[in-house]
């Protein structure tokens, strides 16, 4: 069953000054995302990946086409689509637990229930003992873990992540990939994950969607068949290497196009 | 001295105190050596003695009390209207477009220039004093708060929407807590501004207050009283500032995290 359905969606940003040319960020694209799918969107910088995610999140409105989640047309942001942004967006005046409970409190959930749920997600992202810390007292990786927990605690129908590990060092990034994948394997959620890192895209995805250079359109959709649970060692397997070589070639062409 | 490197607490206090010592020493030299005639500049000791005398025998406490109440009263009146208006202007751009040009213009009107007009309109009573402070604080405060609220981090607002907030929830749970430390800081600065207006308001047509005492003393050439009055204003202003700062630091400890 298709959960998220993107039909003929394009986005053109008007020029910010009069007579300034408009920017076509996305050509009309179509994409179906099934229930419990983990898709990664891969593409060169500036190809419209964030734009697509923001359209699904309801933070932008499409210029043409429409996006449906479980058959309902998306208008505006809502708690049914959890978002983890590339930049750090924890509320600096709230501690870790309060950040995670932000959406639950908005729903008017009872405090004891909020506590149970936040306890569970704090444990899941490995932040026990940091409940009372403020965002500024956490490292970048810890902040993104809280952001993931905050989005998941709301129990969204789909989780949207925009290069959430982009600012992290390589080791931390790999640990975070395993963490997120582990959560997904347990919880079974529909996930759309944006990245420009090929390893990351293959390692987590059940399907990789490759974008062309701007204006973005979908260039290829590639199934990734590795069984779950996945272990980081698959990254050195010949199958992984072969996929990586293929995607590297696809992306390279686009990156060259983007640079011209 | 290294660029931008903070000094230790002890050295900071020592340096701060050192300035006052140098200042008082210079003042003593000028007044006691006769470089400046006594009736123009009282000596520090004379000033302290007359200051004490003012409080002890001439009911100066009442004057100080009146002045404080006028500043605080006018400031609170301004804050009660400026804070919600500034927030509304910061959040809703049409409201900003409606008020901003006028408020920006009014900000440059010197509050003290209104005193003659206000005396005609509301007399020389308390209403005139409060109105001067109000005019002096209100426009400044409104603009500062509108600007602070406009600066709310967009990414946090968007995050709140994706977590299920509606507009009122975003204002209540993101805009207000995010802007609160800066709003408190703006209030502190504008209260300081209030102190600079009150004396002018009291110089004309007042029967009590520190400014009134200063005008009276001028007629008597009592420079020791005038200087004592000025020092008291400085001290009360400093005290209110420190109190304000402490309360802010206590309420918004999160914003001090580096
Ligand atoms: N609000 C906006 N107004 C005008 N143009 C925009 C806006 N947002 C994005 N764009 C343009 O749309 C294009 C795609 O931007 P987008 O942020 O979606 O790229 P991206 O694929 O996420 O890139 P990156 O990998 O660098 O994050 C860019 O050319 C950008 O200049
Ligand atoms: Mg992006």
What is this model's ipTM?
0.92
CB within 8 Å: B155 and A76:
no
pLDDT confidence tier of residue A2, bands split at 50, 70 and 90: low
* Closest residue, chain B, to A100 (C-alpha): B163
pLDDT of residue A163: 92
CB within 8 Å: A106 and B178:
no
Interface with chain B: mutation pick from A74, A81, A92, highest number of B CBs within 10 Å? A92
Residue B137 clears pLDDT 90, i.e. is over it: yes
Chain A positions in Cβ-Cβ contact with residue B257 (cut-off 8 Å): 92, 134, 136-137
Any bridge partners for residue A208, and if so which?
A40, A222
Residue B255 clears pLDDT 80, i.e. is over it: yes
pLDDT of residue A91: 97
pLDDT of residue B113: 85
pLDDT of residue A66: 93
* Ligand 1 pocket test target in A45, A46, A60 with most atoms within 8 Å of CB: A46
pLDDT digits (tens, 9 = 90+) for A15-57: 887 778 888 889 999 999 999 999 999 988 888 999 999 999 9
Q: Which of B141, B206, B153, B205 is nearest to B179 (CA)?
A: B153
Structural domains present in chain A = 2-80+158-259 (3.40.50.300), 91-155 (no CATH)
pLDDT digits (tens, 9 = 90+) for B80-129: 999 999 999 999 999 999 999 999 999 888 888 888 888 888 888 889 99
Buried b (16+ CB within 10 A) or exposed e, B24-42: eeebeeebeeeeeeeeebb
What part of A 141-200 touches B (C-beta under 8 Å)? Answer: 150-151, 154
CB within 8 Å: B161 and A77:
yes
* Closest residue, chain A, to B179 (C-alpha): A93
pLDDT digits (tens, 9 = 90+) for B215-230: 888 888 888 899 999 9
Residue A259 clears pLDDT 80, i.e. is over it: no
Token code pair at residue A76: 């505006």
Q: What CA–CA distance (Å, rounded) separates B126 from B207?
A: 10
pLDDT digits (tens, 9 = 90+) for B22-54: 999 999 999 888 888 888 888 899 899 999 999
* Closest residue, chain A, to B174 (C-alpha): A91
Mean model confidence pLDDT for chain A: 90
CATH code of domain B60-256: 1.10.3720.10
In the A/B pair of chains, how many CB contacts fall below 8 A? Answer: 67
Closest ligand 1 atom number to CA of residue A23: 5
pLDDT of residue B258: 72
Which sequence spans correspond to the domains of chain B? 60-256
Omega before B116 within 30 of 0, i.e. cis:
no
What does DSSP assign to residue A21? Answer: P
């Amino acid at each position: 069953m298709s959960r998220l359905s993107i039909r003929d969606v394009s986005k053109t940003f008007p020029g910010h000054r009069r007579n300034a040319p408009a920017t076509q960020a996305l050509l009309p694209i179509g994409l179906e995302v099934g229930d419990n799918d983990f898709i990664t969107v891969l593409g060169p910088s500036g190809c419209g990946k964030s734009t697509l995610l923001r359209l699904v999140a309801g933070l932008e409105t499409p210029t043409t086409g429409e996006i449906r989640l479980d058959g309902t047309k998306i208008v505006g942001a809502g708690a049914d689509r959890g978002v983890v942004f590339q930049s750090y967006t924890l509320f600096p005046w709230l501690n870790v637990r309060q950040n995670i409970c932000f959406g639950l409190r908005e729903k008017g959930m009872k405090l004891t229930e909020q506590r149970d749920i936040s306890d569970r997600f704090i444990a899941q992202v490995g932040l026990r003992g940091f409940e009372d810390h403020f965002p500024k007292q956490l490292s970048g990786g810890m902040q993104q873990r809280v952001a993931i927990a905050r989005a998941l605690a709301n129990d969204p129908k789909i989780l949207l992540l925009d290069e959430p590990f982009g600012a992290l060092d390589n080791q931390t990034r790999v640990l975070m990939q395993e963490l997120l994948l582990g959560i997904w394997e347990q919880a079974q959620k529909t996930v759309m994950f944006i990245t420009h890192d090929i390893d990351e895209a293959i390692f987590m995805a059940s399907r990789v969607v490759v974008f062309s250079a701007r204006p973005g359109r979908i260039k290829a959709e590639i199934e990734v068949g590795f069984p779950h649970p996945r272990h980081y060692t698959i990254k050195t397997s010949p199958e992984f290497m072969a996929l990586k070589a293929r995607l590297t070639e696809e992306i390279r062409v686009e990156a060259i196009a983007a640079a011209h | 001295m290294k660029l931008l490197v903070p000094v230790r607490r002890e050295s900071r206090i020592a340096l701060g105190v050192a300035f006052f010592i140098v200042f008082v020493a210079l003042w003593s030299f000028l007044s006691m050596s006769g470089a400046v005639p006594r009736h123009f500049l009282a000596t520090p000791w004379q000033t302290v003695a007359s200051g004490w005398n003012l409080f002890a025998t001439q009911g100066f406490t009442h004057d100080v009390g009146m002045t404080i109440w006028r500043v605080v009263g006018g400031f609170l009146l301004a804050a009660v209207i400026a804070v919600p208006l500034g927030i509304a202007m910061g959040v809703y751009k049409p409201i900003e477009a409606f008020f901003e040009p006028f408020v920006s213009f009014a900000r440059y009107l010197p509050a003290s220039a209104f005193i003659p007009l206000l005396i005609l309109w509301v007399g020389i009573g308390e209403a005139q004093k409060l109105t001067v402070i109000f005019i002096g604080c209100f426009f400044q405060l409104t603009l500062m708060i509108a600007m602070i609220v406009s600066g709310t981090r967009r990414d946090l607002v968007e995050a709140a929407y994706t977590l299920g907030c509606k507009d009122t929830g975003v204002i209540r749970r993101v805009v207000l807590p995010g802007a609160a430390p800066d709003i408190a800081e703006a209030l502190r600065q504008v209260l300081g501004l209030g102190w600079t207006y009150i004396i002018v308001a009291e110089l004309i047509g007042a029967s009590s207050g520190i400014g009134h005492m200063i005008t009276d003393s001028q007629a008597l050439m009592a420079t020791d009283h005038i200087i004592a009055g000025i020092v008291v204003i400085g001290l009360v202003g400093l005290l209110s500032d420190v109190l304000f700062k402490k309360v802010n630091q206590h309420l918004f400890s999160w914003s001090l995290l580096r």
